[in-house]
């Protein structure tokens, strides 16, 4: 069982258009509505592969009820925690070349009583779980140290903790010694204070995050693939996508694929990165924030290097078919 926590879930409407023209009236070529939020996407990807998962989400109002209903349709065990803040809605405009223009609402505030209920629900769901994954931005009212304190409580239960967030919440989470963190390229650079221009830069930054407390670091590098670093070694891999449809949620699928393998280290390190890249690339090929199932995943297109060329330069951080994250 893998438990996901999403403090800032959403209803994600994806609208496909021929081209984005500012100030013009445009007609959609296709639309879809998905439950959203980074932890929610991780749960959806796991459920698509029949991996038992429980999604802990705050819920309030008709939007919250709709979010819960959409998750249950996908076969996810939902732990919906009543809160005072509203459930946000996000809109993504997707062009044929894979360019995504995303508008995210900030989400409703969570008070101290809301957070106490959410922590209690997460700790209860975590009993006997293999992983707890905390993903995404913190909504208004949540202190930067929330994920770090939750990680400390999970450590007392002996449950592995994975974190995918950014900025001060990520820095605070590192101090609790999470089993895995999953920054993207920009977040990796922000965390260490230097640009990520080569594979060597990415590995050096990941090692710095390990020194700060993380046991393992899975860093997505957009169209350049990803690196996975832990105490056993370094792996760099890539999974080219010739024609992507949407990168929304691809990094979440990548994290889900890594967690689906289990522990890292030795050959498992290569296996974990292979699965992560295969799931992430599959998500890029799908519309909107749809998560890939087994039939969508192509592991043959993944190339993992046990001895990567560290001098290899990385392309620009904003690739149309990459796996960069939005929060």
**What's the DSSP call for residue 288?**
T
- Secondary structure (3-state) at 112: helix
Half-sphere exposure of 242 (CA within 13 A, CB side): 1
Residues 6+ apart with CB under 8 A from 306: 233, 235, 270
The C-alpha R_g of the chain, in whole angstroms, comes to 18
Question: What are the strands of the beta sheet with 53-59, ordered from one edge?
Answer: 77-82, 53-59, 2-5, 131-135, 160-164, 180-181, 217-220, 226-230, 233-238, 303-305
According to DSSP, the residues that pair with 235 across neighbouring strands are 228
Distance between CA 93 and CA 95 in Å, rounded? Answer: 7
Q: Which of 130, 252, 298, 309 is catalytic?
A: 252
Tally Cβ neighbours within 10 Å of residue 111.
Answer: 13
On the CB side of 123, CA atoms within 13 Å amount to 16
Q: Give catalytic status of residue 252 as yes or no.
A: yes
Report the catalytic residues.
252
């Amino acid at each position: 069982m893998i438990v996901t926590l999403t403090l800032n879930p959403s209803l994600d409407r994806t609208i496909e258009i021929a081209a984005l023209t500012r100030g013009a009236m445009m007609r959609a070529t296709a639309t879809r509505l998905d439950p959203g939020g980074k932890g929610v996407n991780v749960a959806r990807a796991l459920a698509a592969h029949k991996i038992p998962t429980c999604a802990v989400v705050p819920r309030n109002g008709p939007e919250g009820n709709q979010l819960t209903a959409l998750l249950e349709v996908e076969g996810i065990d939902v732990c919906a925690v009543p809160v005072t803040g509203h459930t946000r809605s996000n809109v993504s405009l997707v062009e044929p070349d894979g360019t995504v223009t995303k508008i995210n609402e900030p989400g409703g505030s969570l008070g101290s009583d809301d957070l106490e209920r959410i922590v209690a629900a997460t700790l209860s769901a975590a009993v006997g779980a293999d992983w707890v994954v905390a993903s995404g931005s913190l909504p208004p009212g949540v202190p930067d140290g929330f994920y770090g304190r939750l990680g400390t409580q999970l450590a007392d239960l002996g449950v592995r903790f994975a974190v995918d967030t950014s900025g001060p919440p990520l820095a605070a989470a590192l101090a609790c010694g999470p089993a895995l963190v999953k920054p993207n390229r920009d977040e990796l650079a922000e965390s260490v204070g230097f640009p990520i221009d080569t594979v060597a830069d990415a590995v050096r930054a990941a090692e710095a995050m390990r020194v700060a407390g993380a046991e393992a670091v899975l860093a997505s590098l957009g169209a350049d693939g990803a690196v996975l670093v832990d105490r056993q070694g370094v792996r760099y891999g890539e999974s080219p996508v010739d024609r992507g449809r949407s990168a929304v949620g691809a990094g979440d699928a990548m994290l889900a694929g890594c967690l689906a393998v289990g522990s890292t280290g030795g050959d498992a390190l290569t296996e974990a990165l292979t699965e992560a890249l295969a799931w992430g690339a599959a998500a890029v090929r799908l519309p909107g924030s749809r998560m890939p199932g087994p039939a969508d995943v192509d592991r043959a297109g993944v190339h993992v290097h046990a001895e990567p060329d560290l001098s290899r330069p990385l392309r620009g951080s904003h690739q149309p078919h990459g796996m960069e994250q939005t929060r």
